């Protein structure tokens, strides 16, 4: 190996000596001969050999350049580190603190003075420079840099107080928040890159929040209602009316294969859904206000103060001249007796009345119920206006349960007291205590009492 190297060195020395002694004409002739020889050699080689030769030359030049650049970079960094170390070792702690404070102040003023675009450009340039520097450094340099950063950070944290640590965390949080607020990209840019590690998660993007708000606002604008013919429920932007007919049923004017005519609607009811809801929510007192005929209930009053209802209802022939001709009834017209504790108002849910519900159901019954039409029952808006808007019905006949006597405001109401043993021992039907409506006139009341005497005296 050494002999080959020696021969190459001798050959190079002879060529250098010959080139130094040759004249300008000889040198030009030599160069021309070399160029001719190289051109002839290159014309003779194939295309594949040319590509291979060029690749070898490029690799040789690149390796030589990388070695040279790496050596120069290492030497420069070593010189910089030595110079900085010597300078920092020479300065005192006070000078070092002053220098750091001056650097921080200078950087702060510079960053406050720059615009948002300049700040973004500076951050991008810093990120690019750091990326290039980290890609160029070797693994040993990376490990040394990370170790130095960790040691410096640990020393800083160990020396700072609790307040300084809190301020540092808040400052970092503010920096991250401002970075997220200023770094907003469009939908096309995000989908083109589609890198959550760089641009953040998809659900945190502003354009996603905007689309979600638009979707929810559009969803809240939709209305839903069952079609009167096909009973299907579909969302629509149209104004909902009752009864509601969908667009498909409106187009099928002659025959609707999905409608009532084809027996395709289960549990069909011609009553509008709003009226059905009102009917289901009617309280007992509201039903009595709308009913043209009210039955007479049997009530037992025990000596201990309790009340029970038991037995049957007896119906008797009577004059129907006082048949109800208009609804709703007033509180004074109700044949109802409320038993309550003395001094307590009628706050029970059964005695609450909603004027809107009573009016809607009453008008629907008058327009659609054949019984109301045959008896020519009308709707009284005056009586309806006397009802509470949504609360307990007042001025109902009442009885206080802690008194032996019946405090009945309805002059026509009548009761009888029955011992408890008579109630328990006597056979059915024990219709011996009852309340008679004031719609029945006094002569008819006597007739009813005489008719009930055999039942009372029966053993």
- Tens digit of pLDDT for each residue in 208-266? 888 999 999 888 888 777 777 777 787 777 766 667 788 888 887 777 777 666 766 66
Span 21-72, pLDDT tens digits: 777 777 778 888 888 888 777 777 666 677 777 778 777 777 766 666 777 7
pLDDT confidence band for 301 (50 / 70 / 90): low
Q: What is the mean pLDDT of residues 4-11?
A: 80
User: pLDDT for 84-116, tens place per residue?
Assistant: 777 766 666 677 777 788 887 887 777 777 666
Give the residue, 25 or 372, on which the prediction is more confident: 372
Q: Determine which of 9-13, 14-18, 429-433 has the lowest per-residue pLDDT on average.
A: 429-433
pLDDT at 398 over 80: no
pLDDT value at 407 more than 50: no
Indicate the pLDDT class of residue 79, thresholds 50, 70 and 90: confident
Per-residue pLDDT, 418 = 42
Tell me the whole-structure pTM to 2 decimals: 0.34
d(Cα 226, Cα 216) in Å, to the nearest integer?
23
CB 432 within 8 A of CB 416: yes
**Can you give the pLDDT at residue 451?**
52
pLDDT at 283: 84
At residue 206, does pLDDT exceed 60?
yes
**pLDDT tier for residue 203 given thresholds of 50, 70 and 90:** confident
Contacts (Cβ under 8 Å, ≥6 apart) of 361:
275, 278, 279, 282, 286, 290
> Looking at residue 265, what is its pLDDT?
62
Tokens of 358: 């009573």
Which of 290-294, 350-354, 434-438 is least confident? 434-438
pLDDT reported for residue 457: 46
Instruction: Pick the more confident residue, 211 or 371.
Output: 211
Tokens 């119920």 sit at which residue? 369
Give the Cβ contact number of residue 215 at 10 Å: 10
More confident residue, 7 or 340: 7
314 compared with 144, residue with greater pLDDT: 144
pLDDT at 260: 65
Q: Is the pLDDT of residue 149 over 50?
A: yes
- Residue 337: count other Cβ atoms within 10 Å of its Cβ: 19
Q: What is the pLDDT of residues 190-202, one digit of tens each?
A: 888 887 777 778 8
Would you say 181 and 204 are in contact if contact means Cβ atoms under 8 Å apart? no
Q: Output the pLDDT for position 402.
A: 56
Q: What is the CA radius of gyration of the chain?
A: 53
HSE-CB for 265 with a 13 A CA cutoff: 18
pLDDT beyond 80 at 293: no
According to the model, what pLDDT value does residue 133 have?
73
Show me where the domains of the chain are located.
273-457
Q: Which residue has the higher pLDDT, 391 or 162?
A: 391
Distance between CA 240 and CA 430 in Å, rounded?
54
Distances (CA, A) of 367 to 68, 283, 375, 383: 104, 22, 12, 18
Confidence (pLDDT) at 317: 55
Whether residue 453 has pLDDT greater than 60: no
Determine the pLDDT at residue 175. 63
Those residues with Cβ within 8 angstroms of residue 42's Cβ, 6 or more apart along the chain or in another chain? 50
Residue 411: what pLDDT? 35
So what's the pLDDT on residue 127?
A: 78
Residue 315: pLDDT above 70?
Answer: no
Average pLDDT score, the chain: 71
Q: What integer is the mean pLDDT of 318-330?
A: 69
- pLDDT for res 160: 67
For residue 434, is pLDDT > 50?
A: no
Closest C-alpha to 452, from 438, 435, 432: 432
The structure tokens 């108002």 sit at 345
């Amino acid at each position: 190996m050494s002999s080959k190297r020696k021969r190459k060195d001798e050959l190079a020395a002879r060529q250098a000596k010959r080139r130094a002694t040759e004249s300008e004409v000889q040198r030009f002739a030599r160069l021309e001969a070399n160029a001719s020889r190289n051109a002839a050699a290159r014309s003779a080689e194939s295309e594949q050999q040319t590509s291979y030769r060029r690749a070898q030359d490029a690799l040789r030049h690149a390796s030589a350049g990388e070695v040279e650049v790496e050596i120069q970079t290492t030497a420069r960094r070593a010189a910089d580190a030595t110079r900085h170390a010597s300078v920092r070792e020479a300065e005192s702690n006070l000078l070092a603190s002053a220098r750091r404070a001056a650097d921080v102040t200078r950087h702060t003023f510079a960053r406050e003075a720059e615009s948002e675009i300049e700040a973004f450009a500076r951050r991008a340039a810093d990120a690019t420079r750091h990326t290039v520097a980290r890609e160029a450094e070797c693994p040993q340099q990376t490990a040394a840099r990370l170790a130095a950063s960790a040691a410096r950070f640990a020393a800083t944290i160990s020396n700072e107080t609790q307040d300084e640590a809190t301020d540092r965390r808040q400052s970092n949080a503010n920096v991250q928040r401002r970075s997220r607020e200023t770094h907003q990209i469009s939908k096309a840019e995000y989908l083109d890159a589609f890198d959550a590690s760089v641009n953040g998660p998809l659900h945190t993007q502003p354009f996603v929040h905007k689309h979600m708000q638009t979707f929810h606002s559009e969803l809240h604008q939709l209305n839903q209602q069952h079609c009167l013919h096909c009973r299907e429920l579909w969302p629509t932007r149209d104004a909902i009316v009752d009864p509601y007919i969908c667009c498909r049923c409106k187009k099928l004017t002659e025959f609707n294969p999905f409608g009532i005519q084809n027996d395709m609607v289960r549990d069909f009811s011609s009553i509008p859904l709003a009226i059905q809801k009102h009917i289901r929510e009617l309280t007992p007192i509201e039903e009595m206000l709308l009913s043209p005929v009210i039955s007479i209930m049997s009530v037992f009053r025990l000596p201990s103060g309790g009340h029970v209802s038991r037995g049957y209802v007896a119906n008797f022939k009577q004059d129907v001249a006082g048949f109800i001709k208009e609804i709703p009834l007033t509180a004074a017209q109700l044949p109802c007796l409320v038993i309550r504790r003395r001094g307590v108002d009628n706050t029970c849910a059964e005695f609450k009345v909603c004027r809107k519900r009573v009016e809607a159901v009453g008008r629907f019954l008058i327009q659609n119920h054949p019984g109301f039409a045959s008896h020519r029952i009308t709707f009284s808006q005056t009586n309806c206006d006397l009802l509470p808007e949504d609360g307990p019905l007042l001025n109902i006949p009442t009885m206080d349960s802690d008194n032996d006597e019946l405090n009945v405001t309805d002059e026509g109401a009548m009761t009888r007291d029955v011992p408890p043993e008579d109630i328990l021992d006597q056979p059915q039907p024990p219709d011996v205590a009852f309340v008679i409506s004031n719609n029945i006139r006094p002569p008819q009341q006597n007739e009813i009492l005489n008719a009930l005497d055999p039942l009372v005296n029966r053993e």
